[in-house]
Amino acid sequence: MNILPKRSIQTYITEDFLLSNEFSKKLYHGYAKNQPIIDYHNHLSPEQISNNKIFDNITEIWLKGDHYKWRAMRTLGIDEHFITGDSNDWEKFEKWSYTVPYTLRNPLYHWTQLELQRYFDIHELLDQNNAMEIYKITNEKVVSDDFSSQSLLSKMNVEVVCTTDDPIDSLEHHRNFRNSGTSLKMFPAFRPDRSYTINSPNEYRIYLNKLGEASGINIQNYDDLLLALQNRVNFFHENGGRLSDHGLENLYHFKSSLFDKHKIFKSVMDGKIPSDKEVAFFKFKTLQELCKMYHAKGWTQQFHLGALRNNNSRMFSKLGADTGFDSIGDFSQASALSGFLNELDKTDQLTKTVIYNLNPSDNEVMATMTGNFNDGSVKGKIQFGSGWWFLDQKNGMEAQMNTLSNMGLISCFVGMLTDSRSFLSFPRHEYFRRILCDLFGKDMQNGELPHDEKWIGKIIQDICYNNAKAFFQFPNK
């Protein structure tokens, strides 16, 4: 391992970071910076939020579960022992500190400095030489009440967090938190992916047993499955849920009933492995039924499309899912997406929808597709979602917002989310807001937009906060 030259460099992240002109600066500091955060999609632990967890050290809160960082460390040649292995927390932090200077031009470089500065008031660039000093400073703070999970959210002016929850979840932590008296609001989001993933009959039957227990319904046939899912949708709604979420390679559409969903269900329950076509048909039919349930409740449905997951079978067998071995997929999206949404719209059962693509080549497809199903009933009813996963970096965000601006109305955009498992990820909203303000500021400077600071400032505030607040209509408590 190369030893970096000793240096003590103050961060380049000043108050005008990413703001290239005076218009950008006025928009950010005057209109965007102090807006509350509605983080409508993340993977934070409801238990940790409800129990106001205090973390053991900086490694636990910053590195554990963060596969963005893990991928970078592996690329640099760091052994898995120091990433997800059984090395101690200091050793893992040291290896990450060594990695940081090599992440130049990766968003991790920006995020790392933002997080150290915003949460810990550390303005020195992290590297192997100052790792021990920063490890000690951050650990002294992390174990205090001021760095509990709720305090960390409060520091970032977070108003709402929506976790991602399986239909079988008891939501006990959401219910306990609702009675805690804090001003922060936490709501569940319904993620029913396992309810229609029938590829492995044994695993599917095990899951249905759990779903049956949670819903109080003995699931023996397809109608029972839908009844159980409706039961859980009702339960989530009673506990503040107003969102669903689905992680799919692509959506599905069949013009005719090539198969019988009841027969497919029975066959899977009998242990027969379904064909790829049967799997797709079953997902299509079940998702359609779920979407009708969401519409009846006035929910918003989210579709995260385009991830090619678990590419490395050797590491998947060793570490499991969500460990840093996923990538962008090149699935065909337009035709099935159109058919899927149209089937729901035919009967006026298409609810508010946010569609996220992982492949940037699909930007124009998604932006134009959303416009097909806006019907004037809700402002921005069908949303082209923010840059997601591999695209939640400067170029990806700019590309998404430019495409949305050119082919839709960015003024109706519901803005950014963290999609994160870390309580230290909320400066990503600041990152987004700076990039957003610079896009508008550059247009103002170039004479492509009027020098109407108040009106453009209002649009900025809407994108950062007001649109999401009006769109999702979360309950008061």
Where in the chain is CATH 1.10.2020.10? 54-147
In Å, how far from its chain's centre is CA 7? 36
**Where do we find the tokens 């416009």?**
371
| CB proximity list for 248: less than 8 A, separation 6 or greater | 193, 283, 303, 304, 305
Write down the mean pLDDT value for the chain.
96
Per-residue confidence (pLDDT) for residue 60, from 0 to 100: 97
| CA-to-CA separations, 49 to 32, 43, 54, 59, 135, in angstroms, rounded | 26, 11, 10, 18, 24
Where in the chain is CATH 3.20.20.140? 22-51+156-472
pLDDT digits (tens, 9 = 90+) for 205-223: 999 999 999 999 999 999 9
Per-residue confidence (pLDDT) for residue 477, from 0 to 100: 72
Asked if residue 356 has pLDDT above 70, the reply is yes
The answer to whether 171 touches 235, Cβ cutoff 8 Å, is yes
Asked if residue 253 has pLDDT above 90, the reply is yes
Work out the average pLDDT over 251-267: 93
Cα separation of 145 and 141, whole Å? 9
| CA-to-CA separations, 261 to 198, 246, 267, 280, in angstroms, rounded | 12, 20, 10, 11
pLDDT > 70: what percent of the chain? 98
Work out the average pLDDT over 5-33: 90
Domain 22-51+156-472, CATH = 3.20.20.140
Q: Spell out the alpha helix ranges (H) of 121-271.
A: 131-142, 149-155, 172-178, 201-215, 222-238, 261-269
Work out the average pLDDT over 385-396: 97
The answer to whether 221 touches 265, Cβ cutoff 8 Å, is yes
H or E stretch covering 24 = helix 22-27
Confidence band of 8 (pLDDT split at 50, 70, 90): low
Work out the average pLDDT over 235-239: 98
pLDDT digits (tens, 9 = 90+) for 446-470: 999 999 999 999 999 999 999 999 9
Confidence band of 1 (pLDDT split at 50, 70, 90): low
Work out the average pLDDT over 322-335: 96
Q: Strand 300-305's sheet: what is its strand order? A: 37-39, 158-165, 185-190, 243-248, 300-305, 352-357, 382-384
Q: What is the dihedral of CA 85, 90, 95, 100, to 10 degrees?
A: 130
Radius of gyration of the chain (CA): 23
Lowest mean pLDDT among 61-70, 173-182, 283-292: 173-182
pTM over cut 0.85: yes
Per-residue confidence (pLDDT) for residue 7, from 0 to 100: 60
**Where do we find the tokens 């929808």?**
353
* Among the listed residues 444, 396, 449, 431, the one whose alpha carbon sits nearest the alpha carbon of residue 32: 431
Q: Do the bridges between strand 382-384 and strand 327-328 make them parallel or antiparallel, or are there none, so unpaired?
A: unpaired
Give the DSSP letter string of 255-291. Answer: SS--S-HHHHHHHHHTTPPPPHHHHHHHHHHHHHHHH
The answer to whether 148 touches 160, Cβ cutoff 8 Å, is no
Confidence band of 5 (pLDDT split at 50, 70, 90): low
Indicate the length of the chain as a whole number: 477
Asked if residue 265 has pLDDT above 70, the reply is yes
Lowest mean pLDDT among 8-12, 17-21, 32-36: 8-12
Per-residue confidence (pLDDT) for residue 408, from 0 to 100: 98
Work out the average pLDDT over 123-139: 96
pLDDT > 90: what percent of the chain? 96
Confidence band of 6 (pLDDT split at 50, 70, 90): low
pLDDT digits (tens, 9 = 90+) for 136-166: 999 999 999 999 999 999 999 999 999 999 9
| CA-to-CA separations, 355 to 5, 105, 157, 404, 458, in angstroms, rounded | 46, 28, 26, 12, 25
User: What topology does CATH give the domain 54-147?
Assistant: uronate isomerase, domain 2, chain A (1.10.2020)
The answer to whether 416 touches 379, Cβ cutoff 8 Å, is no
pLDDT digits (tens, 9 = 90+) for 408-427: 999 999 999 999 999 999 99
In Å, how far from its chain's centre is CA 150? 19
Asked if residue 4 has pLDDT above 60, the reply is no
Q: Do the bridges between strand 327-328 and strand 307-308 make them parallel or antiparallel, or are there none, so unpaired?
A: antiparallel
